[in-house]
Amino acid sequence: MWTQIGGIQLLAVNSNTFLKVRVSEDIKQNAAALFEELGMSLSEAVRLFLIRSIAEQRLPFDLKSKNEPLIPALMTEEQLVSEVLEGYNSLKTEETFSLEDVRKDTDRILRKCATK
């Protein structure tokens, strides 16, 4: 069965489960505006994200950047071993950081994440 949404004919999907997601009002408004420009609703964008995640069996985008902390649960075994070896080698060359440096860096990352 087909349905018309915003002048576009789409295959109707029987959606009978609700998903609640808590985000700031600013994120919701900016995302809704973006997806409206792309011709879809916020709900359709979330549905597409879930479908692509299932199809690819992973997040459908890369999370790692040079300035962001690593997320071990999302790394391949090869990436994880590489990061551990890099850390071990930095210890052998006495490239270490004080606890205070680690705390400052962690606070900086958390503040950056909170403003996104």
Confidence of residue 1 (pLDDT cuts 50, 70, 90): low
Task: Kindly list the domain boundaries of the chain, sorted by start residue.
Answer: 2-56, 72-114
Please tell me whether residue 39 adopts helix, strand or coil conformation: coil
Express each pLDDT in 23-81 by its tens digit.
889 889 999 998 888 888 898 888 888 888 888 888 887 665 555 556 666 677 887 78
pTM: 0.45
What mean pLDDT do residues 14-28 have?
84
Q: What is the DSSP string of 91-108?
A: HHTT----HHHHHHHHHH
Torsional sign, CA 44, 50, 56, 61: positive
Res 22 pLDDT > 70: yes
Beta strands at 2-5 and 8-11: parallel, antiparallel or unpaired: antiparallel
What pLDDT score was predicted for residue 109? 73
Residue 53 near residue 59, CB atoms below 8 Å: yes
Tell me the angle at which helices 42-56 and 25-37 cross, rounded to the nearest 10 degrees. 80
> How far are the Cα atoms of 13, 19, 43, 46, 91 from residue 16, in angstroms, in the given order?
9, 10, 13, 15, 54
